[in-house]
Every structure is written in structure tokens, then in C-alpha cells.
Amino acid sequence: MKRLLLFIILLSIVAIPDVTAQKRKSERAYASFNAGEYFDAIDLFKDAYSKTKKADKDSRTALVFMIAECYRLTNDPKNAETWYKLAIKSASSKPEAQYWLAESLKKNGKYPQAIDEFKAYKLIAPSESRADQEIRSCELAVEWLRNPEAYKIEELKDINSKESDFSPAYGRNDFGMIYFTSSRDGASGNKTHGATGQNFTDIFESRIDKKSKWSTPVPVEVINSEFEDGTPSFSSDYKELYFTRCEAGKRERKGCKIMYTKKIGDTWSDPKNIAILPDSLIAAHPSISSDGSTLYFVSDIAGGFGKKDIWKVTRSGGGSWSKPVNLGPDINTPGDELFPYIREDGTLYFSSDGLIGMGGLDLFKAKPQPDGSWVVQNMKPPINSFADDFGIAFENENEKGIFSSTRKGKGNDELYSFELPPLKFSVTGLVKDEKTGSAIPGSLVQLIASDGSNLQAETGNGGDFKFNLKADVDYIFLASKRGYLNGKEKETTKGQDKSREFMVTILLTAFDKPIDLPNILYDFGKWDLRPESMVSLDKLVETLIDNPNVTIELMSHTDSRNTEEYNLILSQKRAQVVVEYLIDKGIAPERLSAKGYGKSTPKVVDAAIAAQNSFLKPGTTLNDDYLNSLANDEQREIAHQINRRTEFKVMRTDYEPPKK
């Protein structure tokens, strides 16, 4: 992001090594670097490197490091990676070379390699904690890329040039006009920036036509100067404009200031410095609140938390601006916080390289809290990338707008549109036989929604069905088929922040045979329900509610031990206690009957029982003759337990509940 440097380099103080009595080329290179002319310094350092004798290893290592630094500071991470790799090969290399190699790999999206290099940096600089945050950033970046946000991103090819284009602002309430910063040809100034090798920037304008095509950008009249102009911010009525102007000469810095202009007819008034800071200091990247009372901006004045911080000034009744107030440590870090954008609801968007992020600058969203703090969130991909992402603008309350990024990999800033599409939800389901797992075609599926909607569909030959769903709604899918008990599944779109297709399987139970109630357990010789039995019975309550026209008989069975009379009495009591439980849960008594079968109906082994007990074969009746043939007491006890069961069978399907 070369043009980002226009607001970072000015007034930045960069530590450089002592310059010994080297050749004139080396001295010129260091002088350019010290003046912030990093682009110009690259060739000077390379020239000095080529003229330095191979025997002078320390000087050559220092020059390689400086070339890498220049590429880093002109935001060319690909070349920076190459030269930092050369720098760390020398035994006299600086620990910073190792750190910035890792950072360059991160900015090139090479997260696993970056993690390895950050770990290597920790070995040579164990007291430094910044590598731990960077390792975590790389790990999260990999995780976020696997599950990106739902935003749709498109490059604004109609507007972008081969130079830098960034920091957009909408200039009309229909969002059909934008102002943005650019170093393209056609700017007012004819100077080139020694830090980037590009023209000084101007503010350009583009309008969208009926075919949604942006017009060829042109410089905005009146407001541009021979210096660096950019980062526009409009008032809510689009009649006032704030922007940044940075004055700079050859190897000198004069600071940045925030300018103000007002719309007069079809043109702008002569821009004036709002003078919130002395001229020698940085005041840049303005963002005016919707009510015009608060101006957010970037500065490195004393009292901050790092390099560039985000500050604010306020005014009442259109009067003078207050003293700057720092937004605090929730927002600001030891790194750079830049390009603030305040929305009407008070949400602040900004870019930072000091918070956990994916690359260089990431875009962050900050929600103000009642206690004055902020809850800050990384906007994640695809808004953020391994490159620099910054300078965002929204279409009022819509999750739609434009931002800047260097993700194309050429080092230049480009403009991108973004939009969060409306959430779309659907459900695809299957209706299957609970016992066999086979599909049940022709079954009726009813959608019952918490918003009152009610839809029906019939399953196809594969037992499949599909519904479109709405956001923030609870759903029940109730399936029915003649000869089966109704079955259902539930889903909800509440709390879902991404479009999604749900998958559900509804199992239906055929009632042509008695149906087992699993885990209905009693202590030996007793009929009191144990706690673990109630889970199964609660499911039976739900089944009876879902099948309001069904009546059932509760059937209890014992094993063959003890007398027939004893077992009949015991099984009747066990069946009756189940009926009483169901009545207590609200099931009508006339829908229920209880019958104890004692030991008269041994269980016939089915495929499910055989799968759990390899010594049993499907179709086998577990009577006394068979139990006596089993190999040992353990197998016989398992068979007895299978015989001790509670079942139910459907008696009627035409029961009519009494009318209330």
C-alpha cells in the first residue's frame, strides 16, 4: 500500500545505523533513507552494495538489511522477503531482520512459514513478546480463511488505475458519486514522492450511470493543491467536506493538517485549515460524525499508545473544537491505527497493524459501550486479506460500500466494493423407516414456523423434501404416512449470521408390530420407575402429542423366572405405573390401557438385538428351551434381560379428542 505512506512517513522518525566513512553512494543512500525517501533509496543502496568489496562482510550485510527495509517501508513485501532472507544469512545480521522476514511472509500470505520464522525470532530475542501475538495472528488467519464471512467483494475496475486509489467517501445521498484519493496522472501537483516513486495525491471524483458503470475519475476542482491531498469525509448533508493535506518538500517534512471546505452552489469554497493541532504536527484521516459534533482523526501527538493513534475533538453549536481526546487502549495499540470511519449508530471502523490481524493493516469494527469502552472485532476475510485493507465507507445503515486494499499484490492500493447479501436459508430433508433405514416416498411433511407460516410437501421417490426458510424463525418439520407414527425434527434460523442449508432426517416408526420402549428399568421384584426410565417415557409423551388420534396399549413383560401368577401381577403393576406416568404428563386416560403379559410372550430376536449380541440369531424366540441351550450363565442373563421389557402397540388411529 504505497500511498498509505503519504500519511505515515511524514514526520515518522526512523532509526538508522551509524554511517561510517563509506563511499559517497552509500552516504547518499543513507541520507535519502533518513529523509523518508525509501523508494529513491532502494537503487542507491543497491548501487552502494555492488561497489562494496566482498571482504567487507559487515558493510554488505548492513546494506542488504537497508535494501530490505526500503522495500518494507514502500510496502513491497515480496521484495522485502527476498532481501531479509539474504540479510539473516549473515552471522552479523540484526534480530530485526529475522522479525521483519516473518512479517513479510505474513503479508505475503505464507502463514505456516511466517509462524516458523516468528518462532526463530523468539529464540534470538526471547524477551520480545510481540512474536507471540503474530504467531496467534497467523493461526487465526488460517482458521478464518477456512470459514470466511459472507461478504461479496468486487474490484472497481472502472475506477482503479495502475497507480494508487484509496480511501473512498460517498458524495451524494443516493451513493451515485464518490470522492477518493489517487496518485494517478492528472493530479494538480507535478512532483513525485521520494518515498513511493508516485505522484503526489489528489482527490478525484467519479459518478455512476444508469448501467451501474462508474465514470472516468476527474480531479475535484478547487480543493486540490500542489501537495498531498486525500482521505475525504463528508458531512451528513454532503455540503461540507473534511480532508487531509500534507505539505512536503525535498527531504523536509511540514506535517499534515485537516482542511475544511463548504459547498457553494456547484463548487467548493477555498479550503481552510481547521487548526486542531499546530502546523508542525500530524492531523490526518478525518471522519465527521453524522451530527457534525465530533471529528475523529489520526495523529502521533504526545499522550498516545503507540505510533499513530485515533483521537477525537468535539464542538457544540458549530463553535471551536475541543482539545484532542485519545480513544484509549481498546482502539489504540503500540502500532498504527489509521483511517477512522464513524457510522451514524456510533460504530467506529478503522485499520490497525497493532491488533491481531491477517497481514499488514486489517479493518476492525468497534462498538461503543455505556462505560466508555469499546468492543473491537476483526472484520475477517474476505474484507480483510494478507495485504493492507483500510479506508472503508458504507451506504448509510446498509452493509454495503467501498474500501481500499493492496490484495492484488502489486503494492498499489485499489478500490473494492463490498456487500453482505441477504441471508438465505433452506432445509433439505429425508424421511426414513426407523427400523430398516429405507426411504419412505409419498409421506407428507408439514412445516410449522414460529412466525405463523405453515407449508406442506410430499416426499419424492427418495423420501426427500425441501423448504425455503426465513431468518430468525423456529421451525418444526412433522412427517406422516399411513401405517407409521408421525415423526418430527426441529431447526432454527435464530442466531444464524450466515446463509445456510440445513439437513434433517425424520425417522418414522411402523406400528404393525409392538414398539419397544428402551431403558424402561425397574429394581428386581419392584414396579417403581427408575429415573433413567423417564427419558424414554418423555419421548413417548412427545410421540403421543404428535399423534393425537392414536390410542395405545402399554405391554409389560417379565422373564421366565418365578411363578406365572407372580409374573402376571408384577408385569401388570409395571404396565400400570407407566400409564399413570403418562396421565400425569397430560395424556388423556382414555387413550391408554395397561396389560401385563408376565412371561407368556418371549422376545423374538431382531436384527438390532443380534447386532448387539453376537451369540443371538435373528428370528430366535427366547423361550426356556432356548435359554437352557445357551453356553453359560452370562448369556442366559442377557437373554432374560431382553425378555424383561416394556412395549406399546397402537390400538386405534381414529381417536377424536373431546372438544374443549
What is the mean predicted confidence (pLDDT) over 127-132? 89
**pTM, full prediction:** 0.76
Q: Find all residues with CB under 8 Å of 128, minimum gap 6, and list them.
A: 99, 121, 122
Contacts 24+ apart (CB under 8 A), 173-178: 173/238, 175/395, 176/207, 176/208, 177/205, 177/206, 177/207, 177/208, 178/205, 178/206, 178/214, 178/393, 178/402
Residue whose C-alpha cell is 382414555 = 590
Look at residue 409 in the predicted model and tell me its pLDDT: 67
Better pLDDT: 103 or 520: 103
Report percent pLDDT > 70 for the chain: 93
Q: Domains for the chain: give ranges and CATH numbers.
A: 152-419 (2.120.10.30), 425-510 (2.60.40.1120), 515-603+645-652 (3.30.1330.60)
Residues 6+ positions from 194 with CB-CB distance below 8 Å: 32, 35, 36, 37, 38, 39, 40, 250, 251
78: its cell numbers? 515480496
Q: Which residue has the higher pLDDT, 4 or 279?
A: 279
pLDDT over 80 at 572, yes or no: yes
* pLDDT, position 10: 44
User: Which three cell numbers mark 506?
Assistant: 425424520
pLDDT at position 305 is: 95
Q: How confident is the model at residue 194 (pLDDT cuts 50, 70, 90)?
A: low
Distance separating alpha carbons of residues 406 and 386, to the nearest angstrom:
9
According to the model, what pLDDT value does residue 5 have? 46
Highest mean pLDDT among 121-125, 475-479, 530-534, 616-620: 475-479
For residues 104 and 73, the answer to whether their CB atoms sit within 8 Å is: no
**What does the pLDDT average to over 259-269?**
95
Residues 6+ apart with CB under 8 A from 7: 228, 230, 231, 244, 246, 256, 282, 284, 285, 298, 308, 338
Sign of torsion over alpha carbons 142, 144, 147, 150: negative
* Closest CA relative to residue 517, chosen from 599, 561, 567, 582: 582
- Position 411 scores a pLDDT of 59
pLDDT band (50, 70, 90) for residue 195: low
What average pLDDT score do residues 415-425 get? 96
Query: Per-residue pLDDT averaged across 7-20, rounded?
Result: 43
Say yes or no to pLDDT of 480 above 60: yes
Range name among 20-34, 44-58, 223-237, 488-502 with the lowest pLDDT average: 20-34
| Lowest-confidence segment of 107-116, 172-181, 516-525 by average pLDDT | 516-525
Mean pLDDT across the stretch 488-507?
A: 95
Side-by-side strand order, sheet with 337-342: 337-342, 348-352, 362-368, 374-378
pLDDT band at residue 54, thresholds of 50, 70 and 90?
confident
Task: Write the DSSP string, 136-190.
Answer: HHHHHHHHHHHS--S-EEEE-TTT--SS-EEEEEE-STTS-EEEEEE-STT-S--
Spatial distance between the Cα atoms of 530 and 547, rounded to a whole number of angstroms: 26
pLDDT at 199: 79
pLDDT at 16: 43
Q: What is the pLDDT of residue 6?
A: 45
Distance CA 81, CA 92 (A): 18
Model confidence at 253, pLDDT cuts 50, 70, 90, reads: low
Closest CA to 239 of 167, 316, 171, 341: 171
- At residue 21, the pLDDT reads 40
pLDDT tier, 223 (very low <50, low <70, confident <90, very high otherwise):
very high
